[in-house]
Chains A and B, each alone.
Chain A
Amino acid sequence: GAGVSQSPSNKVTEKGKDVELRCDPISGHTALYWYRQSLGQGLEFLIYFQGNSAPDKSGLPSDRFSAERTGGSVSTLTIQRTQQEDSAVYLCASSQGSGRVWADTQYFGPGTRLTVL
């Protein structure tokens, strides 16, 4: 597609439920990133994919968080047994990932606003 898309745009869930957040990167972009932005805060890095593999999972806050990417395209971020502190906007970005990913410009999606009641 023309840009990064994310779904759903808003998600309200009850504490303890599992949620899945989806990201569709820009066509042809091999690198994909997930960030979390809490209210009034900066961006917290969660995980990054190069193709289908995740070289860096160091940002995942706990083992309740997991992410996968299939076919080098769509990625899903799953949060199990959600807690109220998981409430945030989850942003996805993609970049060309042409071997110099550290130099890439990242293009961001509109985000998914997650509210855990």
Chain B
Amino acid sequence: AQKVTQAQTEISVVEKEDVTLDCVYETRDTTYYLFWYKQPPSGELVFLIRRNSFDEQNEISGRYSWNFQKSTSSFNFTITASQVVDSAVYFCALSGYNTNAGKSTFGDGTTLTVKP
């Protein structure tokens, strides 16, 4: 079975603060992919990043960075110098090679509110 836990239901920060969204996962697969999606108030999920289980290198894209640690089964997402436009619901997802290929498991999401 697969499970994704996003323990932070809601986070509120003031613009320009850094914020980290936590994602912890469980899977029996040794080969899997992890994803982050953003769902702005408009409602459409937008893909942010994909990372496979063999690549533990951290990744930085502009103000976004991701920290993947297999030892703690975590794939955390940090926004540096947050902006109001970052306000959205963020979902972490897992797709395992052996576990019902095609059936991604999503966390319940973290609602981020960035105040001006």
> When chains A and B are docked, how far (Å) is the Cα of A9 from the Cα of B93?
25
Number of contacting residues on A, CB 8 A? 27
A56-B102 contact in complex given A42-B107, A43-B91, C-beta closer than 8 Å: yes
Q: Which residues of A contact B37 (CB under 8 A)?
A: 108
Contact in complex: B33, A102 (CB < 8 Å)? yes
| Of the residues B35, B44, B106, B109, contact of A105 by C-beta under 8 Å | B35
Knowing A42-B109, A102-B97, A103-B52, the reply to whether A56 touches B47 (Cβ < 8 A) is no
**Interface contact B96-A107, CB-CB below 8 Å:** no
Determine if B74 is an interface residue (Cβ-Cβ < 8 Å).
no
Complex contact B102–A48 (CB within 8 A): yes
Q: B103 and A56: CB pair below 8 A?
A: yes
Interface string of A25-65 (1 = CB under 8 A from B): 00000010101000001110100101000011011000000
Q: Which of B33, B44, B47, B104 is close to A45, meaning CB atoms less than 8 Å apart? A: B104
A80 at the interface (CB under 8 A from B): no
Q: Is the CB of A50 within 8 A of B100?
A: no
B105 / chain A contacts, CB cutoff of 8 Å: 45
Q: Is the CB of B101 within 8 A of A101?
A: yes
* A106 CB within 8 Å of chain B: yes
Task: Provide the residues of chain A in CB contact with B101, threshold 8 Å.
Answer: 55, 101-102
Given A41-B108, A42-B91, A103-B33, A91-B102 contact (CB < 8 Å): no
Nearest 5 interchain pairs by C-beta: A42-B108, A108-B45, A48-B102, A102-B101, A43-B106
